[in-house]
Amino acid sequence: MNKVNRTALPLLWIIILMLAAGCASTTVPVTMDFPEVPETLMQEPARLEPLPVDAREITDLLENTTVNYGKFRELRMKYLQWQRWYNTNRRLHKETTE
Amino acid sequence: MSLWLIQLIPTSWLNFAALMTLVLGAVLFLAGKLFRRSRLLRQYNLPMRVVGFVMLLAGAYFNGGLGVEMEYRARIAEMESRIAVAEAKSERENIKIVKEIETKTQVIQQDTDATLAEIERLKQKEKELRQQNQSLLSETCELTPSVIELYNQGLSGGTQNE
């Protein structure tokens, strides 16, 4: 009887281990990579131009303002494109993972 | 016990292994029962029955688990294809974004250049008028309509289509 127990006990452990393996997690090991951002959106934003110290005329101020407004409009446009990129990729991520 | 190694084995091999474990287990178990009646082979009957029983259990477990594994693989394949579609869509959107940025940057640059050219024309006109002791701009530094117009043109770029 002891001989049988010595054989049966390790086998019982093997069986328990094998059955326990059935409880292993079945989470799908596939993850979505973080989406690539267009390089244009990663460029450092332009700084605004200061008014030159030798500026005397009101037209100098107008020129400076015009250049700076142009830079602002470019930044605004890129900001809107960032939002567009984020919203699109967020939607795609949601559609894929849900 | 990690199951990820199983994913590396082809499906047909797994099916074959599970079936063979079950069949071999049954054969060993039944052979052990038969050997009990034979005087010559009686000594092998217990180990054969024990091994056969364990193999039967393992075979049953693997056959059951194989269904789960197959479903798991199908889910992985589905997820991979969905990710590929999403990545392609994201890539296409990036191309559209880059094109739109290029186009709009050009438009903004053109608007800025046009306004700067108008300011330059205003400067020239002002220079000519000053030679005749006249001025387009206010002498008391008040903002004149032409200055306000140019200022606002710099702000909007002359277009409001952004």
Inspect the interface and report whether the beta carbons of B147 and A58 lie closer than 8 Å.
yes
Inspect the interface and report whether the beta carbons of A69 and B61 lie closer than 8 Å.
no
pLDDT digits (tens, 9 = 90+) for B12-21: 888 898 889 9
| pLDDT at B86 > cutoff 60 | yes
Of B86, B91, B116, the CB nearest to A96: B86
Taking CA atoms, what residue in A is nearest to B80?
Answer: A30
- Selected residue of A19, A96, A97, A98 to mutate for chain B interface (largest B Cβ count, 10 A): A96
pLDDT band at A84 (very low <50, low <70, confident <90, very high): very high
| pLDDT at B105 > cutoff 60 | yes
| pLDDT at B161 > cutoff 60 | no
Number of A to B CB contacts under 8 A, please give it.
137
Q: What is the mean pLDDT of residues B23-37?
A: 88
Q: Would you state the pLDDT for residue B129?
A: 84
Q: Would you state the pLDDT for residue B11?
A: 79
Q: Which of B23, B8, B31 is nearest to B63 (CA)?
A: B23
Q: Would you state the pLDDT for residue B1?
A: 43
Of B58, B105, B154, the CB nearest to A65: B154
The average confidence (pLDDT) of chain B is 84
Q: Would you state the pLDDT for residue B14?
A: 83
pLDDT digits (tens, 9 = 90+) for B62-80: 887 887 778 888 888 999 9
Q: Quote the DSSP letter at residue A38.
A: P
- Rounded to whole angstroms, the Cα distance separating B116 from B157 reads 10
- Rounded to whole angstroms, the Cα distance separating A37 from A70 reads 24
Domains of chain B by residue range: 4-156
pLDDT digits (tens, 9 = 90+) for A7-44: 666 667 666 666 665 555 566 778 888 999 999 999 99
| pLDDT at B154 > cutoff 80 | no
**Continuous H helices in chain B:** 11-35, 45-131, 145-156
Å between A28 CA and nearest CA of chain B: 6
